[in-house]
Amino acid sequence: MRKKEAKKKAGAVRDKRKDSFLQRLIKDLKTNHILYLMILPVLAYYVLFSYVPMTGIQLAFKNYRIKDGIWGSPWVGLAHFRRFFSSYNFSTLIWNTLAISVYCLIIGAVIPVLFSVLINYIRSSKWKKTLQMVTYLPYFISTVVLVGMLGIFLGDSGIINVFLEKLGLESIPFLSSGKLFRGVYAWSGAWQSLGYSSVIYIAALSGVDQQIHEAAIVDGASIWRRIWHIDLMELRPTMLVLLIMSLGSLINVGYEKVLLMQNSLNTSTSEILSTYIYKVGLINSDYGFSTAVGLFNSLVSMVLLLVANRVSKKLAGYSLW
């Protein structure tokens, strides 16, 4: 009896919801018309600059002809993909992309943690503030200027090499050798982003209850032990989440800086997926092929992101969605 009634009630609620969706929308439009007006340009923006270009992905399966446009160009199936997978530089591109990405990932995970733990043990708060301030400054340097500065300091006739020669040492081809490209790329990136990426760790450490440290001192713990058992334990969840999330973007290495650092002497290691997409697409105007490589890139990173999110949910209880 009671069950039946409850069922009836639920049904009524459902009915009410069903037939009132339009009514509710109209009512909402009336009361919140300003909100709708506000969000309209934003919606238009996303449709025009994100969703319409998504329909352009069909180019990956087409042979683009200007006069036919995106929709009218003839289909070629998987020809672009086949060409890409069988091209001689496919494995090099993948390897270069992953190598540079993993290099940056490791440095990017370790250095900010190390820095924030060490800065936490500086006693003078003025000195601490100065250090933080000075590490933020490179955030404002543009990629162009950063790469320009690399040239000034590390170039073949750069300041460092001038000093090395003065000391009678051999100069180091930082920017003009494939071997050193990854290192220079990753470490200059770490230099630029250190202040920015250690903010969250420094904040977490300043939240540690000082009594824990005091108790540890009383118990005779050395600084190393305190770093290990207190500080790093405090940072572990944040580190884990950030690390897992950056695994998701493993294949997405930005092309801006790589393009600027690239020269004929280091292409053996500096040619990565995104620079290849740019060159084939915009320099050679091979639109279909470039879109295909881009789609491959997006799909792989999508899969990596999904896997990373799964792992993060399981290990750290944190999910993007």
Q: How far is the CB of 1 from other proteins (least distance, A)?
A: 37
Q: How far is the CB of 82 from other proteins (least distance, A)?
A: 19
Q: What angle do CA 140, 144, 148 make, to 5 degrees?
A: 105
Question: Of the two residues 96 and 290, which places its CB atom closer to other proteins in the complex?
Answer: 290
Q: How far is the CB of 7 from other proteins (least distance, A)?
A: 28
CA dihedral 198, 200, 206, 207 (to 10 degrees): -160
Question: Of the two residues 7 and 19, which places its CB atom closer to other proteins in the complex?
Answer: 19
- Which of 284, 250, 244 lies closest to 96, judged by CA? 250
Question: Of the two residues 75 and 224, which places its CB atom closer to other proteins in the complex?
Answer: 224
Q: How far is the CB of 2 from other proteins (least distance, A)?
A: 33
Question: Of the two residues 100 and 293, which places its CB atom closer to other proteins in the complex?
Answer: 293
- Which of 177, 145, 147, 172 lies closest to 157, judged by CA? 172
Q: How far is it, in rounded angstroms, from Cα 106 to Cα 150?
A: 22
Q: What angle do CA 190, 148, 155 make, to 5 degrees?
A: 90
Look up residue 75 and give its DSSP letter.
Answer: B
Question: Of the two residues 1 and 42, which places its CB atom closer to other proteins in the complex?
Answer: 42
75 beta partners:
62
Q: How far is the CB of 54 from other proteins (least distance, A)?
A: 5
